[in-house]
A and B are shown apart, each in its own frame.
Chain A
Amino acid sequence: MSANDRQGALSLAPTYYDALRRLTLELAGINLGSNHAFLVETRLAKLAREEGYDSLDAMVSELFQTGGSRLAVQVVSALTERDTHFFKDQTAFRRLREVVLPDLHHKRGGGRIRLLSFGCASGQEPYGMAMVIDQMQDALEGMKVDIVGVDYPSQALERARLGRYTHFDVQRGLPVRDLVEYFDTDKADWVVKDKIRKRVEFRDIHLLSKLDTLDDFHAVMFCGSLPHYSAPARVRVLRGLSGLVKENGYLILGEGESLSKMNFGFDRVSESSGLYKKREVVIEPEVDPDLKIPNGRTTFEKSEQPYKPLKLSQP
């Protein structure tokens, strides 16, 4: 197919494709790449139909003529929606199951912890986390777990809130025993059972905005998105996430993803490149000159020599 034929198959003026790419980079920090016309055509045509526009062209023309922020967020959300499925990043879930949850339980001995699925799309990841918690309830005895899923306001997030999936959705990544255990049927769809849905709260936020409307979390799962962000957006989103993770809490990235040379207050956990632990901030106490200084013995008894502060020699 020639370039002219391809252009003939597209329904928007060529300048709109570039404008949509720039809009997505500006609002979400995500670079769609140069070959994004197919993505625009398929995802936005669906959105245009659902929003009641006569055509894709009518919706995009209105977007750029009126600059409507609600429509802009919907368009960008549709363009950046990830194709996800249950337990998509098995390495991340293994880290959650084998390292993060046992460690949090061991250190806290119980109580309430909070987990975050950052960029949760249509909800498979946070619901998967809830299933893992349910399966580990004996090992996590005494620990209550709240799970929050956040993403841009979108139809995907609305689907997540409903916990309603098609038979294609529940057959990708989800073992049939989990399907039977955690879902009910409703006509042609599969609906997450209340015992799982009640553990998960969904909130729509701008992922690149200040995240201080969220409380902090004991662990954050952020899988599969990092490589799509532009370099400045990557810094911004990781800085935001750093502020959300409690000291000694965990950041779980996707398989093959890492903080590279940036650390944002995290240390890598052993050799797991995608698992990081938030560094504890140690506040050194001010030295009171009248305070007795340990004398090297096992007690704080008064030493025979009066304490003299060390004086550093001047160079």
Chain B
Amino acid sequence: MKTCLIVDDSRMIRRVAGRIVKDLGFETSEAINGQEALDKCQMELPDAVLVDWAMPVMDGFDFVKKLRELPGGQKPIVVFCTSVRDISRIVEALAAGADEYIMKPFDSDIIESKFTLAGLV
């Protein structure tokens, strides 16, 4: 079973997104900020990461840059899931190593579509 790490400081978002991702056939785990997500990735790399941008301690942008520097860190598919809608910020996220980008609010169709585009489903 594929694995997906869901990184968001909102418990509600982690719960909603987690349910949708589980329905897509993934085993999920959670982190509440970029640093905790990075620690989990150093233990074991997931197949996919769904990550918010703005979080305390370490934001999603820094997390993705550091993840890509880890041994094997190019492998996980990273999908941003954030309220940031500015085109220049989306371009920055892609340049930092994101594969896809979801703008909140989202629904199950959007997550499924983006996971499909990223080759995860």
CB within 8 Å of B: which residues of A?
A: 85, 167-168, 171-173, 175-177, 179-180, 183-185
A171 touches B87 (CB 8 A): no
Contact A175 B91, CB 8 Å, known A167-B103, A168-B110 = no
CB within 8 Å of A: which residues of B?
A: 85-87, 90-91, 94, 100-103, 106-107, 109-110, 113-114, 117
7 A-B pairs with the lowest CB-CB distances in the bound complex, closest first:
A176-B101, A171-B110, A172-B113, A175-B117, A167-B103, A176-B100, A180-B90
Measured CB to CB, the nearest residue on chain B to A87 is B117
The minimal Cβ–Cβ distance linking B115 to chain A, given in whole angstroms, is 12
Contact A176 B85, CB 8 Å, known A171-B103, A171-B110 = no
**In the bound complex, what is the Cα–Cα distance between A168 and B109 (angstroms)?**
9
Which applies to chain A's interface (DSSP): helix, strand, loop or mixed? mixed
The 18 sampled A-B contact pairs (Cβ below 8 Å) are: A85-B113, A167-B85, A167-B103, A171-B102, A171-B103, A172-B110, A173-B117, A175-B100, A175-B117, A176-B90, A176-B100, A176-B101, A176-B114, A179-B90, A179-B101, A180-B90, A180-B94, A185-B87
A180 touches B110 (CB 8 A): no
Measured CB to CB, the nearest residue on chain B to A175 is B117
B91 touches A168 (CB 8 A): no
Q: Which residues of chain B are within 8 angstroms of A172 by Cβ–Cβ distance?
A: 109-110, 113
Q: Which residues of chain B are within 8 angstroms of A176 by Cβ–Cβ distance?
A: 90, 94, 100-101, 114
